Structure 1
Amino acid sequence: MRVKSFMTSPALTIGPDQSIADAADLMITNRISGLPVVDHDGRLVGIVSERDLLRRHNGGPPRRPHWLQLMTQKNALAGEPERFHTLTVGNVMTPSPVTVTESTLIEEAGRLLEQRRFKRLPVMRGNAVVGVISRSDLLRALPRAIGKAEEAARHDAPMTDERLVELERQYWMQRTRSLK
């Protein structure tokens, strides 16, 4: 099974010069948690996620998660409206993301998502982003994979039995010949 069969396509994308408020709005409206970032020529330059938007970008690590500070500290919200309109996607994105192609095996995409702890991978055709494969897309692939495995087991069982019977027959024929 290939990525092409399960990816979400076409991919929603965003430009690096757009505000993080625009990115948040696009993600919320489309119920997604990340977007490939493409330049004005359509080339992939990064990926931006909910986590990127919620992370504090002031040079130093916060003592606790930024989103938690926003919810629990009254003065933490003071600069947030301005921050969401002045910071750009390019300021917070992860540059040069790991990608796959449409012909990548679904198993390989799953391995990358698991090992790298990613939630999504851009799917490329040459230099163009044609889709996104996410963990939820892999869940959609699971019933089909299980069905194929069950079908193969049903189909292969009689053949395996036939092979075993034939091997046993040949063994006994050889044994009978050697006794004569």
Structure 2
Amino acid sequence: MDDILVGRVMTSEAITVHPDTFVEEAASLLLENDIGSLIVVDDDGRLEGILTTTDFVHIVAASKPKAKTTVERYMSTDVTTASAQDAITDVADVMIAEGIHHLPVIDDEGNVIGVVSTTDLTEYISGLKPRRTA
């Protein structure tokens, strides 16, 4: 499996938001799209951070957010990323080592081109997700 690249298993339609998106809108996007993370980008599509369902657990438990709170306040900014040319075994190792479930996939300029999740990897290995070419 060292020859299987992230570009074959990633979800290329990453749902993105901007840092000034309200957390209420972000929560709605997660629910409506049945996803576990939102990739936070700037106006040029460059990665700024990631907001996950785990972040929402912390938001509710710790601070009980007020209306009009933005994503920027809660997103993670020290984001581990992947390239479409990374081997999925390498990405899986990173996810396990760092205890994370979503990796934004970026190009050489830092633009988000997709996201790879533990679900993507599991579906691929189990044969449920069709193989794609990057």
Report TM bin, short chain. Answer: 0.7 to 0.9
Is 2:36 aligned against 1:45? no
Q: Are the aligned partners of 2:102 and 2:116 in contact in 1 as well (CA < 8 Å)?
A: yes
Is 2:115 aligned against 1:132? yes
Question: RMSD over aligned Cα, in angstroms?
Answer: 1.9
Matches within 5 A, 1:137-156: 137-143=120-126
The equivalent of 1:94 in structure 2 is 76
Q: Are the aligned partners of 2:50 and 2:79 in contact in 1 as well (CA < 8 Å)?
A: yes
The equivalent of 2:5 in structure 1 is 2
Structure 1 residues without counterparts, runs of 5 or longer: 58-65, 68-78, 145-180
Between 1 and 2, higher relative CO (CA 8 Å, sep ≥ 6) is seen in 2
The equivalent of 1:113 in structure 2 is 95
The equivalent of 2:16 in structure 1 is 13
Mapped partners of 2:54, 2:5: distance in 1: 28
Q: Are the aligned partners of 2:59 and 2:74 in contact in 1 as well (CA < 8 Å)?
A: no
Amino acid in the other structure paired with 2:53: E
Mapped partners of 2:103, 2:8: distance in 1: 15
TM-score by length of 2: 0.85
User: Deviation digits for residues 26-76 of structure 1, max 9, x if unmatched?
Assistant: 00000001111001121101000112123148xxxxxxxx18xxxxxxxxx
Could you say which structure has the larger radius of gyration?
1
The equivalent of 1:159 in structure 2 is none
Structure 2 residues without counterparts, runs of 5 or longer: 128-134
Amino acid in the other structure paired with 2:23: I
How many residue pairs match? The answer is: 123
